[in-house]
Structure 1
Amino acid sequence: MTTLEEKILGGLDDEQREVATSLNGPLCVLAGAGTGKTRAITHRIAYGVHTGVYKPNQVLAVTFTARAAGEMRTRLRDLEAGGVQARTFHAAALRQLQYFWPQSIGGQLPAIVDHKAQLVAEAARRLRIGTDRASIRDLAAEIEWAKVSMHTPEGYMAAAVGRSAPAGLDHTTVSRLFQSYEDVKTDRHMIDFEDVLLLTVGVLDEDPKVGAAVREQYRHFVVDEYQDVSPLQQRLLDLWLGGRDELCVVGDSSQTIYSFTGATPAHLLGFTKRYPGAPVVKLVRDYRSTPQVVHLANRLLAARRPEPGVAGQDAQWPAPLELLAQRETGPDPEFTECSDDEAEAAHVAQRIRALMDGGVAAAQIAVLFRTNGQSQAYEQALASNGIGYQLRGGERFFQRREVRDAILQLRAASRTPTDDAVPQVCRDVLASLGYAAEAPSAGGAVRERWESLSALVALADELAVARAGRETPFSLAEFVAELDERASTQHAPTVQGVTLASLHSAKGLEWDAVFLVGLSEGLMPISFAEDQADYDEERRLLYVGITRARIHLMLSWSLSRTPGGRASRRPSRFLDGLRPATAGRAGKDAARAPRRRKAAGPPTCRGCGTLLATASERKLGRCGDCPPGYDEAVFERLRAWRLRVSQEAEVPAFVVFTDATLMAMAEANPADASALAKVPGVGAGKLERYGRDVLDILTAGADPA
């Protein structure tokens, strides 16, 4: 007979077993990518439950995505520890807020805002601030950062010192808009997702009975992805704990990629200072990726050097975990330089077709990019090659009509007893909705419908295997209950089709084959990275991308944006020393010379050397007496473009760019986004909104109309 230890601890490596058997007191787990951290902590919880150390309903495990929480619940159920609560921070807080609101606050909990954009736009209109879609997105993100960092509108200006002002607005205006946004929510009796955390913190902090009730309910806490905790989430966790130390945290500072939302690894890195003597277990055995992929990931982090001129505390960063590959050897990562974006997308589509012809499933292939705007070229290239794809972040799986119909049919079938296995019943039921063993030759809606139904069948197969051998057979009713729970938490199964996703949205996922595309300066690192912290985060983002790959890893970049355009781009600095010389331009792979900072001094005209008196002269770098160094026709095209943009946005022309900034653009004639970002007057927000249009005018002489 299988013992309890063999059932739960069998198959764990030494470090994972140490995590699983350390059931009391504070525990810090530093877990590298692919090292089985979810396995370690779920087995820890299950071991605690089965040994009687934990009561299932007194354990709260929190993570950052609904998918991760759903995966944790599924694993715990498979380990017969299904009574444990596994939720996101927001879901756990919302559940508590809904329960305690009537007795602590009274009345009905306000409606929750799904998206801030509409309310931010209304707040801007009240202040007569001109906005467009991009600026609204930037302002919503800034408000979110302020709230998770626990800053009020009144305290925003002091907290935002040193931050780039969003949407080209000064911090005073952003502070006013922040307050206007809060007023709009109050007027409409609504709250946002950050308010859910803030209000829960307020109720727990100010109502002793509520705080005592929650702490009586939950005695043991596990926090996954602890490097992504914001100050507000840490405050909530502290109130849940109430001074106790029954806490296990798991994280990896090398995977901190959400600093712009307020996430900070400081809590993970300072855990042993807060809990002196707390054990620290390092998980470094990588079971996901081949040695070739792991080696490249390790080299990327080891190659990090401070930017020229950076010293002291700013030059330091946490020592990364060095991963040890456990898988069999695989192919070397491929590095490819392409002439332009279109050629790069075509090359990627051809390589994907070759992988699929070689037996790699489409669902096990991903194309990852730095910004969502890069996806269009790859959508078009895949479609041209007859390759199905899914955009991560599109329509939610459980909101698709065919999926809703399928669940209704399966629920009806579950009421009729049958001796057939769940996967077979699922196939029989879904056949009436269009499922077949072979994919249809047609594309479009027919193919998408089949892929949705196929994902449900695959999930039935997966769960049947995972729950085989139990005393109670896996039933169709249990499968339907699983689908209902996954629908409530948006824990979607895998859909057949190549995944197109941003690097940020790929966190927590993995594929057999990963294409990292657009790896040129200005995109990786992104052009608005300004300081050492920004560059380090961009390096970590690329590291996350690399470690998503199990076997095949392809990295590519292009020299020009458009076919026939000037080859002014260069590969990402992060690839220096990693890519073979044959992958890039011959003889040009040497490390970049360090940039020297100019000594501080009064600005002078680059033409005659006289001191520059006005802001406009300093922006241009020349005095008014010296002739301009730009093509008048280019300047006029920029002005015509600016007029059209300002009229569409219903704002004064100078709000888009001042004449001095347009002149500086024309004189500098930047060839890419990185160079354009250095032109005075071009901030991060304006670069994102207008950068492509400006570069088209400057580099291609495009007619702005």
Structure 2
Amino acid sequence: MEGVTDVILDALDPEQRQVATLLDAPLVVLAGAGTGKTRAITHRVAHAVREGRYEAGATLAVTFTTRAAGEMRGRLAQLGVRSAQARTIHSAALRQCQYFWPTAFGSDFPPVLSNSFPLVARAAASVLRSSETALVRDLDSEISWSKSSNVTAERYVELASASGREVSGATPAQVAAVIAAYEKTKAASGQVDFSDILLCAASLLAEHPAVAERIRSTYRHFVVDEYQDVSAVQHRLISLWVDGRDDICVVGDPHQAIHSFAGARADFLLGFAAEVDSASVVRLVRNYRSTPEILGASNHVLGGRDPRFALRATKPAGAAPTFHAVRSEADEAAGVAEWLTLQHADGIAWSELAVLYRINAQAPSFEAALSDAGVPYSVRGTEKFYDRAEVRQAITVLSRAAQSEPDGSVPELMESFLASSGWTSEAPTSMGRQRERWESLNALRTMVLEEDKKRANWQADDFVVWLTERASWQSAPVADAVTLSTMHAAKGLEWDGVAVVGVREGLMPFVLCQEEPALSEERRLLHVAFTRARARLRVSWATANGNRTANRSRFLMGLTTQGAQAAPAPAGNRRQRGSLRSRACTVCGEQLHSAAERKLSRHSDCESTYDEALLMALKKWRKETADENSVPAFVVFTDATLLAVAEAEPSTRQELLKLSGIGTVKVERYGQACLQVIADHKASRT
């Protein structure tokens, strides 16, 4: 009837409306950054429930972060759909395992390891005679990848050898032995790890028909977000949940596929329509987040890959992104601090500004520069806000205080707790854990006091209900501070102004990601970083890396403006020569063709970002040292560390200690000999 407003569908653009109303067949939604996918899929659920097509309590929305699940629950609640479930895939699987395991096996589901690192360290020590932190961390990641990819220790050697997987210099056979030793130790402890949860849930469904029937009768309608991030095991589990039914909608963006290191495979998203009969496909490309100028740079970074997914701006024109080539990392950090100060003076809140970098090791120089400039900042880590020890303690203490004084003043309860915990209004000058604890309590305080301003006659018992709900939704507060974050951790977030730093060869793309498919993933990662910005984007890099000259990233070719370095042009018709399986030049990104070029990892006329001869000399020294001490080569220095040494060319012990992966023990044991190799090589160049 004319004049009647549909509050669910009228809020959607034509493509989003298709997502909400195509309910008769499986649906694949290819949704670019900032195109409103969460709005589309929550309105899909609300519309389907209203029309009687979905039963709210039988609907499961699957996400891959707790924060995203909380946001989805909040949006569904606002649309009047409160009984639908929105969970991470691990949370949903764990609930099913804990509930049905006794039925299937006659015993409780095993406890989940809170930290797998100690068991991996024990396995590494028994197999490799080393439990060095960097090595154990890499092995822990590889074990997680193997389980997510459903690769057993028995199959690992063949697969790793064929695909060229490397883990800190350990051979595939050694890694397989570590995997087997880890599994044996874990089984003896009577525990399961995070990855086992999905494997166990899939086993319940595949091998126990009665359990599978009960699970499938509980959840009959599915929406799965971020499908470009699913692994082989996750894809298998989702397929077992759905069991061929039509009530499935998967959503994802192939241009934001940046988690292959965790076993994620975008081909599950792109191949879903072919795998599932009669599936429909909808593309969301209208971007509501960023200005046309920012989207132009973001699309350009992708190098024209698949124009069907190019983002289209809906916002009016704004400021053009700026590009800055500076002499040193210190100059870069100072320039970013000045830029942030100017943005804040121009009316942008500190909380609407961010600094994004490729690796965590880049953070300290920016922390120091922001501290010197008086810019408040918060370092975004991997730990969830409500899982932090100080936040859990705060919620417990505040809840008890509210129970004893149900009519008490909320601000007084908050201030009393902070005083008892030693919190002060001034941020500590030190970095690390002390600073993180202060930031957590300050953010909690700000969140509570802001909510108190909105409430009339708000009492302590109401406060506890509100705080508990926020925690269950993982609705974390936003501190009035600039966010420092890796590009990976920034996925799913957005700010008015973003500074993307360190966009040089060796960092973007990262030095260990110079071949396909890793190289294309680095390109997508920079695209993700650019698309975090709504209105203002600053891109920078240092032209010096230690004692070496550094080139700006090949991904910026054709983008940089006045003051930026010129990019080396592709030589001749390289793109037409060679096969797609050829290696890429580490400088210009074009294909390599001759054996000599592949050995150099670059074209003969492209400038190298480090001295290959020095790297070879360092590898020779490492092998000789490892043989003398009867240890594997990676125990001396990992490949990544050697590359960092070759780039920096340190001349003193202090300069060695500044490099990632080198601590005091390494310097004491190998430092002098390593420095001598560098000094000898420098002398031979003169």
Instruction: Name the SS for the 2:499 alignment partner.
Output: strand
Please name the residue that 1:129 is paired with: 129
Counterpart secondary structure, 2:342: helix
TM-fit CA distance, 1:455: 2.7
Write the distance in 2 (CA, Å) between the matches of 1:395 and 1:279. 37
In the TM superposition, residue 157 of structure 1 has moved relative to its aligned partner by: 1.3
Equivalent position to 1:405, from 385, 394, 400: 394
1:368, 1:545 within 8 Å by CA — same for their partners in 2?
Answer: yes
Correspondence for 1:496: 480
Tell me if the contact between 1:222 and 1:248 (Cα under 8 Å) persists in the aligned partners: yes
Q: Cα offset for 1:57?
A: 1.2
After superposition, the C-alpha distances for 1:94-134 in whole angstroms (9 at most, x for unaligned) are 00000001111222222211232111111122325323111
Asked if structure 2 preserves the Cα contact closer than 8 Å seen for 1:407 and 1:483, the reply is no
Q: Give the Cα–Cα distance (whole angstroms) in 1 for the partners of residues 452 and 42 of structure 2.
A: 22
Whether contact under 8 Å (2:65, 2:88) holds in the other structure is yes
1: CA distance, partners of 2:676 / 2:270: 46
1:577 to 528, 546, 558: 558
Q: Distance in 2 between matches of 1:630 and 1:451?
A: 48
Q: CA deviation at 1:268?
A: 1.2
* Superposed CA RMSD: 4.0
CA distance in structure 2 between the aligned counterparts of 1:29 and 1:505, rounded to whole angstroms? 23
How far apart, CA to CA, are the structure 2 residues paired with 1:404 and 1:494? 19
Change over 3 Å in CA distance of 1:192–1:589 after alignment to 2: same
* Structure 2 residue aligned with 1:337: 325
Structure 1 stretches of 5 or more lacking a match?
A: 305-317, 605-619, 622-628, 674-686
The question of whether the paired residues in 2 share the 8 Å contact of 1:455 and 1:496 is answered with: no
Q: Which runs of 5+ in 2 are unaligned?
A: 430-434, 575-584, 586-590, 600-610, 650-658, 681-686
Structure-2 separation of matches of 1:456 and 1:696? 54
Counterpart AA for 2:46: A
Q: Displacement of 1:190 after TM fit?
A: 1.1
Residue 381 of structure 1: aligned partner: 369
Contact 1:510 1:548 in 2 (8 A): yes
Q: Which residue number corresponds to residue 626 of structure 1?
A: none
Residue 600 and residue 163 in structure 1: after superposition, are their counterparts in 2 closer, same or farther (change >3 A)?
closer
Task: Name the CA distance, whole Å, in 2 between partners of 1:549 and 1:23.
Answer: 34
Q: 1:509 aligns with which of 487, 493, 496?
A: 493
* Counterpart in the other structure of 1:346: 334
The 2-side partners of 1:490 and 1:496 are apart by: 19
* 1:64-100 CA-partner distances (Å, limit 9, x unpaired): 1010011001111111101011011100000000000
Q: Quick one: structure 1 residues 699 and 654, their matched pair in 2 at CA, closer, same or farther if it must change by over 3 Å?
A: closer
Partner of 1:21: 21
Counterpart of 2:244 in structure 1 is 243
* TM-aligned CA distance change 1:599 to 1:455, over 3 Å: same
Alpha-carbon displacement from aligned partner over 1:411-461 (angstroms, at most 9, x marks no partner): 76589888x9xxxx75565354569xxx94555566763333103344677
Q: CA deviation at 1:635?
A: 7.2
For the residue of structure 1 that corresponds to 2:538, the secondary structure is: strand
Partner SS, residue 99 of structure 2 = helix
Aligned: 1:652 with 2:640: no
Do the aligned residues in 2 keep the contact of 1:363 with 1:498 (CA within 8 Å)? yes
In the alignment, structure 1 residue 553 sits paired with structure 2 residue 537 = yes
2:94 is aligned with 1:115: no
The count of aligned residue pairs is 622
- 8 Å contact 1:60–1:84 — kept in the other structure? yes
**1:520 maps to which residue?**
504
1:306-363 Cα offsets, whole Å, 9 max, x none, are xxxxxxxxxxxx5551211112322111101111111111111111122122221121
How big is the shift at 1:172?
A: 0.7
Aligned twin of 1:327: 315
Give the stretch that moved more between structures: 509-518 or 155-164: 155-164
Residue 66 of structure 1 corresponds to which residue in structure 2? 66
Alpha-carbon distance change, 80 to 341 in structure 1, aligned in 2, over 3 angstroms: same
Deviation at 1:229, TM superposition (A): 0.9
Q: Report SS of the residue matched to 1:515.
A: strand
**CA gap 1:636/1:179 in 2 versus in 1, 3 angstroms:** closer
Partner of 2:181: 180
1:531 Cα deviation (Å)?
2.1
Counterpart Cα distance in 2 of 1:640 and 1:128: 17
Contact kept in structure 1, 2:168 and 2:634, CA below 8 Å: no
- Pick closer, same or farther for the CA change 1:655–1:150 going to 2, 3 Å: closer
Query: SS where residue 67 of structure 1 aligns?
Result: helix
In structure 1, distance between residues paired with 2:356 and 2:308:
23
Aligned pairs (5 A) from 1:606-625: none
Aligned-residue offset at 1:485: 4.3
Q: Which residue of 1 aligns with 2:215?
A: 214
Contact 1:228–1:264 (CA<8 Å) still a contact in 2?
yes
Q: Write the distance in 1 (CA, Å) between the matches of 2:42 and 2:196.
A: 30
Separation (CA, whole Å) in 1 of partners of 2:646 and 2:446: 49
Out of 326, 343, 346, the residue aligned to residue 358 of structure 1 is: 346
Verify the 8 A CA contact 2:56 2:84 in the aligned structure 1.
yes
TM-score using structure 2 length? 0.81
Pairwise CA distance, 1:16: 1.2
Q: 2:442 aligns with which of 439, 450, 461?
A: 450
How far the C-alpha of 1:299 sits from its partner, in A, is: 1.7
* CA apart distance, 1:6: 1.9
Contact between 2:622 and 2:636, CA under 8 Å: does it hold in 1? no
Deviates more, 1:4-13 or 1:238-247: 4-13
SS of alignment partner, residue 222 of structure 2: strand
SS at match of 1:390: strand
Please give the alpha-carbon distance, in whole angstroms, between the structure 1 residues aligned to 2:246 and 2:382: 40
Residues 201, 239 of structure 1: 8 Å contact kept? yes
Q: Is the 8 A contact 2:403 2:461 kept in 1?
A: yes
Identity %: 39
Aligned to 1:9, what secondary structure does the other structure show? coil
How far the C-alpha of 1:288 sits from its partner, in A, is 0.8
The equivalent of 2:297 in structure 1 is 296
| DSSP-derived class of the 1:125 partner | helix
Q: Aligned-pair distance for 1:474?
A: 10
State the SS of the aligned residue for 1:248. strand
Q: Secondary structure at the match of 2:302?
A: helix
Q: What code does the residue aligned with 1:198 have?
A: L
Distance change in 2, residues 1:637/1:98 (3 Å) = closer
Deviation of the 1:554 alpha carbon: 0.7
Deviation at 1:25, TM superposition (A): 2.1
In the other structure, the counterpart of 1:85 is: 85
Matched residues in 1 for 2:399 and 2:352: separation? Answer: 27
Counterpart of 2:683 in structure 1 is none
Name 1:615's counterpart in structure 2: none
Alignment partner of 1:540 out of 524, 528, 547: 524
Counterpart amino acid of residue 488 in structure 2: H
Alpha-carbon contact 2:130-2:635 (below 8 Å) kept:
no
What corresponds to 1:683 in structure 2? none
CA gap 1:123/1:461 in 2 versus in 1, 3 angstroms: farther
Contact persistence 1:403–1:453 (CA under 8 A): no
Q: Which amino acid aligns with 2:51?
A: T
* In structure 2, distance between residues paired with 1:137 and 1:669: 20
CA–CA distance in structure 1, aligned partners of residues 510 and 364 of structure 2: 18
1:182-229 CA-partner distances (Å, limit 9, x unpaired): 001001111111100001111111111000001111111000011111
Question: Structure 2 vs 1, CA of residues 589 and 245 (structure 1 numbering), >3 Å: closer, same or farther?
Answer: same
Contact 2:490 2:529 in 1 (8 A): yes
